[in-house]
Chain A
Amino acid sequence: MIEIRDLVKTFHPGSVNEVLALAGINLRVKNGYFITVIGSNGAGKSTLLNCLAGSYAIDSGHIQIGEQDLSYWPEHRRASLISRVFQDPLLGTCAALSLEQNLALANRRGCRHGLGRGVRRVDRELFRQQLQQLGLGLEDRLRDPVGLLSGGQRQALTLLMATLIRPQVLLLDEHTAALDPKTAQQVLELTVKLIAEQQLTALMVTHNMRQALQLGNRLIMLHGGRIILDVGEAEKAAMSIEDLLQKFYTVRGEEFVSDRMMLV
């Protein structure tokens, strides 16, 4: 269970560049729920995920996962509960290290990194099995530097790393946006499969409204740092993209043309 209360985040407070990126977010997510997050550019989607993961310090409010209040935990400490996949395929893996070394780091997420062997023989067998399920032939390339992989392969690897130890919460920020359509589809399918298998609680930001409606069991829409739409499973299933847009414009009313381009 994630509970977010009155979350506020301002960038460059007190300066001429001041941006109120999150203007009081309230959200409760039950365990095992897969939420899709949409909203126009600059709505605050990435900021929300970054605040949850601890990349950005929050101004005020509370973030709770289970019994633990992690509002002021540093980012690395939150990694014991939260894992994430970034939009940039280069960000989630370390190019200089091999596949098995990357996986070994992920296999210790939130644990101590001591002077024991980085990659042990028992790990290697586990990694091979895990890579096999991606169906990308990566299981034979355990010792290759990750820098040799394509963007899609790296993103699939990042997903695997994010779920190698089951996270309490999985954060996905437009993680297929930088990939070509075919690869994006593969990575998306893998995402759905992993979330279903491990019954993960997940927040997935996407700019694709069809995806947002098809996947997951709840949809929220952000605008101006607020949640302006929150659609449950049944309602979502019956919704079309037009319905969603209609809802959006009823809430907002203006800037019809420009935002239509951004959203679809």
Chain B
Amino acid sequence: MSYFAFMGALEQGFAYGFLVLGVYLTFRVLDFPDLTVDGSLPLGAAVYAVAISAGINPYLSLFLAMLAGFAAGAVTGILNTRFGILHLLASILTMIALYSINLRVMGRPNMTLLGKPTVLDPLTNAGIGLFNAAPLLFGLLSIVGLLLLLWLLQTAFGLCMQATGANPQMITSQGVATSRVIILTVGLSNSFAALSGALLCQSQGAADVNMGVGTIVAGLASVILGETLFGCRSVGRALLAALLGSVVYRLAIALALGLKLGQFSVTPSDLNLLTALLVVAALSLPGLRRKVLRR
């Protein structure tokens, strides 16, 4: 792999890092399978692109993207807790609705950022090359995100988040309304997905309504990859594993894209299939191994 390909994979890995941290929050902490991210990631990109184009400060634009993502996640949480819709279905409904909303936000299927100010300007102005600036900035941001989550999970509210996922009856009898915790946590998770969308939009120079397809599967694959490679014994370890999982996953994809088996070579359009297979393998292997060992 070339240096540029490597830095490119790092950049993607860190940009997707927020998404993966968000997926960890919903799937692992809250035990809430949330597909909203397939819509909230492009929502973040769309809001960021529109905000940048309107001349809003890039960092403020990132924040706006996060707000939009939070709202999307909160809607899923509300559909689930207040209207009693099954979590999976609630998230699919929001995801589908977001496709239309994202088109409305941009007013067209895609939007470029050419010539606009970027979040990378402070670094490039300081003389750091573009290929190094993006991985550096995204890496720093995702570490800040990780530390924030680590702090949050140790607060009283964070303990409620963990208990809501692990034992809703227990936390309810301690006086906590699990519905509120679910709405806030799914919202937070999607604000992270939207931030990933905004960063990706920045790194690709464009937002596209279709950029969210397969987001959840890629996020899950990264979480599982991270857990397998780096362990998840403590919350801090699990968060770090999720972030590193994201980077390893993107590196693996970059490697796979260069792969050639005789006539056959892997193209970007094969990635969703490969990722789905990877998740299936990771999810079924522990069960299969148990079955084989029992015999």
Contacts and interface: CB of A to CB of B under 8 A. Distances in A.
B154 A95 contact: no
Interface in B223-251: none
A232 interface: no
Interface string A92-105: 11111100010011
A76 B169 CA distance: 10
A161 B167 CA distance: 15
Name which of A80, A92, A94, A96 has the most chain B CB atoms within 10 A of its CB.
A94
Interface in B66-110: none
B155 A115 contact: yes
Interface in B153-172: 154-160, 162-163, 166-167, 169-172
Counting chain B CB atoms within 10 Å of each CB, the highest count among A105, A106, A161 belongs to A105
A53 interface: yes
Contact of A53 (B162, B173, B176, B178): B173
A121 interface: no
Interface residues of B, number: 22
B174 interface: yes
Contact of B160 (A96, A105, A110): A105
Interface in B42-61: none
Given A79-B173, A80-B175, A105 B163 contact: yes
Given A93-B167, A118-B154, A105 B173 contact: no
B144 interface: no
A28 interface: no
Nearest to A116: B156
A74 interface: yes
A83 interface: yes
B170 A92 contact: yes
Interface residues of A, number: 35
Contact of B167 (A53, A91, A113, A117): A91
A135 interface: no
Contact of B172 (A75, A90, A108, A119): A75
A118 B155 contact: yes
A118 to B, nearest CB: 4
B288 interface: no
Contacts of A252: none
B31 to A, nearest CB: 10
Nearest to B152: A115
A108 B174 contact: yes
Contacts of A76: 172-173, 175-178
Given A92-B170, A93-B170, A114 B175 contact: no
Given A115-B157, A116-B155, A96 B175 contact: no
B159 A101 contact: yes
Contact of A110 (B154, B170, B175): B175
Contacts of A223: none
5 contacts: A75-B173, A94-B170, A105-B160, A110-B175, A113-B160
| Across the A-B interface, the 6 shortest Cβ-Cβ residue pairs | A79-B175, A110-B175, A113-B156, A94-B163, A96-B166, A118-B159
Interface of A: 53, 55, 74-77, 79-80, 83-84, 86, 90-97, 101, 104-106, 108-111, 113-119, 161
Given A76-B177, A80-B175, 12 more contacts: A76-B173, A76-B178, A84-B173, A91-B167, A101-B162, A108-B174, A113-B157, A113-B160, A115-B152, A115-B155, A117-B154, A118-B158
